[in-house]
Structure 1
Amino acid sequence: MNTHSPQPSEMIAYQKQHFSNDRLLELYKAMLKPRLIEEKMLVLLRQGRISKWFSGIGQEAIAAGVTLAMKYDEYILPMHRNLGVFTNRNIPLHRLFSQWQGKASGFTKGRDRSFHFGTQEYKIIGMISHLGPQLGVADGIALASKLKKEKQVTAVFTGEGGTSEGDFHEALNIASVWDLPVLFCIENNGYGLSTPTSEQYRCEYLAHRAKGYGMEAHIIDGNNILEVYKTVSELAESMRENPRPVLLEFQTFRMRGHEEASGTKYVPAELMEEWAKKDPIDNYQNFLFSEGVLSEELDKEYRKEIKEEIEEALKMVNSEAIIEFDERNELNDVFEGFEYQEFAPESETEELRLIDAISQGLRQSMQRHQDLVLMGQDIAEYGGVFKITEGFLEEFGKDRVRNTPICESGIVETAMGLSIKGMKSMVEMQFADFISSGFNPVVNYLAKSYYRWAQRADVVIRMPCGAGVGAGPFHSQTNEAWFTKTPGLKVVYPAFPYDAKGLLNTAFNDPNPVLFFEHKALYRSIRQEVPKNYYTLPFGKAAKLREGSDITIVTFGAGVHWALKTLENHPDINADLLDLRTLQPLDTEAIFESVRKTGKVIILQEDSVFGGLASDIAALIADECFESLDAPVKRVGSLETPVPFSAALEEGYLPKARFEKELLSLLHY
């Protein structure tokens, strides 16, 4: 049982071995620069010139050693105490300082702070505050490198506290199952904010967790720069030739608070004193002095050069103008620009069910995009639970059609990593309900990446959804409203085979994250003539299925077919029927044009009414078309309950019968 924080040894045992004097000095400067920057930042923090600081003092050997052991074109995913990663990738200091002050020369246009950014130029992918997702993103980057046969290693950092998150376990499992060359670097510094390791985990060493994943692991003195550099260099070289994940536990200590405002009063004084004796820079400096490698004069020269560089960079940043708000820029940067390219349908068609059209579109997109990778539970040999990918394995191979462990969060993160490496991916949720297990990376990573630092999330998530098949509370939700309210996500929800194929092809052409909803009850019940060739349909264009002047019906998904059936039963109703097809972007002009013509509107959705998309559409109509309305805007949806299992309860839950009643009532208003 673990009852203590990492314990310092009496002194650091440096092994000079084959290191040249130049390399020994390089390692010293690699630690010294972030230390001197931090000391300056702490002064600026007290002066109120920066707003927050997460100190890595005492941990410099880890970031410096790992970064120098990596090749420059290999990706590193650091945390907020890994300043040495950024400085040793030679990011100009004025850009770092600008990032911390929220100015334009930084990496996020003032939209995020500290180390919450990435940069393709320097092959660094920064963290988000939820910590865990970057571990799975590293898997995706490593997978892409492996598929491209690049012989590269990816390094990703986490703290001992982050190892308690589910993302940690999912990422390690994926990397192990797929033999991905990822260095999982745990900085075990004793405390997760104020919570000691004795309250974080019960194994003696976190490295021991690797055994459960069939992984190699090493425990390293994180304050010994030579041990860090030598071990990581040898492992990285081996992993490039023999791809596999390795778990590294760096034993170190955080000498300041979680962030400066939190302080360190919760740390026993004697523990601070012991670890202070093991300062990675002071000890290494004394070692170099003793070996005659470093002189006091040379040390002073190094410090003078670094301090001058810091001051010069600060002058540049201080003279830089503060970012001004521009609404157009903010809105335009939520999505990456996408020029829709039309591929026209040809005349040769065949009758397809919805499920067949989706499968055909997916296959043709795989043929068109050679860098597209499919991931999901049981999608390879088995063909998926709905058999949409049946036969894909034989045509496209195991590399591109990948069965995944049951870990939605980790796989969505892996998809993000593939996008960072310039590849496309599709993640099949076995059921749309299961997206809740991967919700965080969808709404906080995929949705925000382009806005934050112009990194595309070229990911399509397929979402088999909907009730009417007796599948009960956990396999029947239509949860599109979870995502239509999240800026940065596109949401598609076709009702017909023709639309499904064309829109799915467009989803794979679009570089932005797309959630593609497929109603299970429509899979095998709806047939239509569908062009055999590859074609696309634009997002944000509703389809008008019926033309009329008495009332507007706005709906999507299964609601389209309920509305059509109702109109067939009432041929006297003269209605405009709009099938939205895409929910984000939303064709508001088509809605407004119809409402201004008819003066009455009813919005039908399968989701329960409160908080659903119908509510937002109703509000938009009230804002834009109020003077054209001859009656209140009517919303119709399912009951405010979970989706029940039995046929009678499910029939009562769904809004089909209520829609007919409300439609007739509104017509007679």
Structure 2
Amino acid sequence: MEFQLDKINPTKAIDLYRGMLKPRVIENKMLTLLRQGKISKWFSGIGQEAIAAGVMQNLNNDEYVLPMHRNLGVFTSREIPLYRLFEQWQGKANGFTKGRDRSFHFGTQEYHVVGMISHLGPQLGVADGIALAHKLRNEKKLTAVFTGEGGTSEGDFHEALNVASVWQLPVLFCVENNGYGLSTPTNEQYNCENIADRGVGYGMESHIIDGNNVVEVFTKMKEITESVRENPRPILIEFKTFRRRGHEEASGTKYVPEDLMAYWEKRDPIENYEKALMDADLLTKDDQKKFTDEFNEEIKTHLKKANNAPPIESSIEKELADVYQNFEPKNLPASTETNHIRFVDAISEALKMAMQKNHNLVIMGQDVADYGGVFKITEGFVDEFGKERVRNTPICESAIVSAAMGLSINKMKAVVEMQFGDFVSSGFNPIVNYLAKIHYRWNQNADVVVRMPCGAGVGAGPFHSQTNEAWFTKTPGLKVVYPAFADDAKGLLISAIEDPNPVMFFEHKALYRSQRSDVPTNYYTTELGKANLLKEGSQISLITFGAGVHWALDVLENNPDLSVDLIDLRSLSPLDTEAILSSVRKTGKALILQEDTSFGGVASDISALISKHCFESLDGPVETVTSLPTPVPFAGQLEDQFLAKSRLEKALIDLANY
């Protein structure tokens, strides 16, 4: 290996050496502790230290970096106190996740580090969002995100690169090509010579760097980082390196040919660099020992502090309290002045007023800019807010949801429009595994609203008609809102945007242009988690939401003899359990109506809730009325038969007569 030491000054030469040596010394200690049974798991980066050292010494401390679980050098380069890292790995209080996640699965705003999740790919899109925030604020900052060659096979990789290229975002996509994805060699992962070659397909500059040569890493990254700060753009960088230990220590390396392992052992980044420094009279044996002893002493001191820290303590109340960011919503009262407008217009009003109030709010979605979205909700927005804040996106729901998460990390707000709620399945992973869990994991909020045009009754067939709220009410950390009236739609959407937690906001397409209400003209909020009692009665509690509210009103109008408490839930998570239970205790009978299919929906959970808490008050079985357990059909007769609406009247009368 050749090191062009003439390209760096002596001080930087030693800084790079120390930057590699420290994580190596820590790792050697961790491997000893692992053999002693004092830690449970370790993901080793031995042999790859040059990448983190060379990259990090070109980043400013206020520039975000998104590392992988083999990038210990990222954390040590940011000078995170070792006792905090040790307590993180031990699941203690001074770690970054309060014992809720392990190893490097954490982030910290204090050090501008955003840790990975095990699904790998979403962090690439998160980097896009962080960089987008910098670009919108005209800040000369970049974002660096790491992945392995295995992660480049995921769709998120391709989506994130495409978005970054289309939007010209200052992101450094750092791919550590270390030979194996767990045990799968590169020739079984992709069929091109170099991962960097993929940059051509995205119109993106790319580079190949020897990831074991710290001088090459540093000098080339210096040129790249300085250039990107002045001329924001994404760059794909492939670092050629090798993973010399198992994916994690229990995996071993028996699958690696001996000659291949021997080749890379000879290319050890630290041993070779030490020799080059000594040959150039920049490092002595005494220096090497002094640095190693210094790091060992630091490790010893901080390990003692971590080991002496008490086991983490918590309670059910604390755990539940950290699922969401604590937020005391401001009550913004509705004005007495109203306009009689459609549901769709109320949604548009809420978005426009929120954009006017929150200059850090960005709307993203397919066709939302000049076209105004397929339902024309954002029509005209570009004229007022510009295409920087009203952003058309490629068809890549996962990357856009991840980018929304990145915007939140970098102090902005995002509203993502799913063109149809059905398409959220393509962005499911970052919603349920990133947005939903991030506050519980490391105290980072996800200030993101995902708008979900949903529902049947409009002849749109299996892929444009689902009402899939139960996918998300199951997931702790998400709020789920589902209005039935235009005035609620406006107030609830404003509340969702004000709320710093992730909200799935369902908008029934059949209500867009059929439902009209007197809607206050001002910027007002409607409290999330509060049901609305639309009718009062004594026979039955009819509990529903969305289009189901209007089906229920039609049936009750045709059956004036029925005395019914009609509850419009409005929010499904948080759920107004008190409104439900107090009504059922009064009437003694309950019917839950949902448009979703029969098994595993919200109705099932509400039924169980009632059965548990109102058992002694019940005068009949808890009834649920749902749609058929089939995909949503297209033909009108089939759709009518499918929908719960067709079975509501009989079920309600039968329960009244029970």
Cα distance, 1:346 vs structure 2: 1.0
Aligned residue in 1 for 2:244: 255
Q: Do residues 363 (structure 1) and 352 (structure 2) align?
A: yes
SS for the counterpart of 1:529 is strand
Cα distance, 1:283 vs structure 2: 0.2
Aligned residue in 1 for 2:603: 614
Aligned residue in 2 for 1:565: 554
Equivalent residues, number: 658
Percent of aligned pairs sharing the same letter: 68
Q: Distance in 1 between matches of 2:289 and 2:314?
A: 44
| TM-score of the superposed pair, with normalisation by structure 1 | 0.98
For residues 540-559 of structure 1, what are the structure 2 equivalents within 5 Å? 540-559=529-548
Q: Distance in 2 between matches of 1:562 and 1:192?
A: 53
Residue type of the partner of 2:526? L
User: Could you tell me which of 293, 314, 322 is aligned with 1:304?
Assistant: 293
| Kept in 1: contact 2:341–2:519 (CA 8 A) | yes
- Residues 362-392 of structure 1, C-alpha deviation per residue, up to 9 Å, x if partnerless? 1001111110000000000000000000000
Cα distance, 1:17 vs structure 2: 2.3
Aligned residue in 1 for 2:636: 647
- Residues 161-207 of structure 1, C-alpha deviation per residue, up to 9 Å, x if partnerless? 00000000000000000000000000001000000000000000000
Q: Distance in 2 between matches of 1:266 and 1:330?
A: 42
Q: Do residues 507 (structure 1) and 501 (structure 2) align?
A: no
| TM-score of the superposed pair, with normalisation by structure 2 | 1.00
Aligned residue in 1 for 2:105: 116
Cα distance, 1:398 vs structure 2: 1.0
Residue type of the partner of 1:292? D
Q: Do residues 273 (structure 1) and 262 (structure 2) align?
A: yes
Q: Distance in 1 between matches of 2:450 and 2:646?
A: 32
User: Could you tell me which of 72, 92, 97 is aligned with 2:61?
Assistant: 72
Aligned residue in 1 for 2:393: 404
Q: Distance in 2 between matches of 1:117 and 1:550?
A: 52
Cα distance, 1:16 vs structure 2: 1.2
Query: Any unmatched runs of 5+ in structure 2?
Result: none
- Residues 201-228 of structure 1, C-alpha deviation per residue, up to 9 Å, x if partnerless? 0000000000000000000000000000
Residue type of the partner of 1:474? F
Query: Any unmatched runs of 5+ in structure 1?
Result: 1-11
Q: Do residues 148 (structure 1) and 137 (structure 2) align?
A: yes
User: Could you tell me which of 415, 418, 435 is aligned with 1:429?
Assistant: 418
Cα distance, 1:324 vs structure 2: 2.4
Aligned residue in 2 for 1:395: 384
Cα distance, 1:329 vs structure 2: 0.6
- Residues 500-559 of structure 1, C-alpha deviation per residue, up to 9 Å, x if partnerless? 000000001100000000000000000111111111110111001101011100000000
Aligned residue in 2 for 1:7: none
Aligned residue in 2 for 1:91: 80
Q: Do residues 339 (structure 1) and 331 (structure 2) align?
A: no
Aligned residue in 2 for 1:8: none
- Residues 550-590 of structure 1, C-alpha deviation per residue, up to 9 Å, x if partnerless? 11000000000000000000011010000000000000000
Q: Distance in 1 between matches of 2:626 and 2:481?
A: 19
- Residues 293-347 of structure 1, C-alpha deviation per residue, up to 9 Å, x if partnerless? 0011111110110000000010001101011241111000000011111111111
SS for the counterpart of 2:415 is strand
Aligned residue in 2 for 1:208: 197
SS for the counterpart of 2:480 is strand
Cα distance, 1:18 vs structure 2: 3.5
| Kept in 1: contact 2:7–2:219 (CA 8 A) | no
Q: Distance in 2 between matches of 1:17 and 1:659?
A: 81
Aligned residue in 2 for 1:100: 89
Aligned residue in 2 for 1:578: 567
Aligned residue in 2 for 1:220: 209
Q: Do residues 329 (structure 1) and 318 (structure 2) align?
A: yes
Q: Distance in 1 between matches of 2:7 and 2:429?
A: 46
SS for the counterpart of 2:436 is helix
Q: Distance in 2 between matches of 1:40 and 1:605?
A: 57
Residue type of the partner of 1:188? N
| C-alpha RMSD of matched pairs (Å) | 0.5
SS for the counterpart of 2:505 is strand
Aligned residue in 2 for 1:180: 169
Q: Distance in 2 between matches of 1:390 and 1:548?
A: 42
Q: Distance in 2 between matches of 1:543 and 1:320?
A: 49
Q: Do residues 477 (structure 1) and 466 (structure 2) align?
A: yes
| Kept in 1: contact 2:542–2:564 (CA 8 A) | yes
For residues 1-20 of structure 1, what are the structure 2 equivalents within 5 Å? 12-20=1-9
Residue type of the partner of 2:405? M
Q: Distance in 2 between matches of 1:33 and 1:655?
A: 64
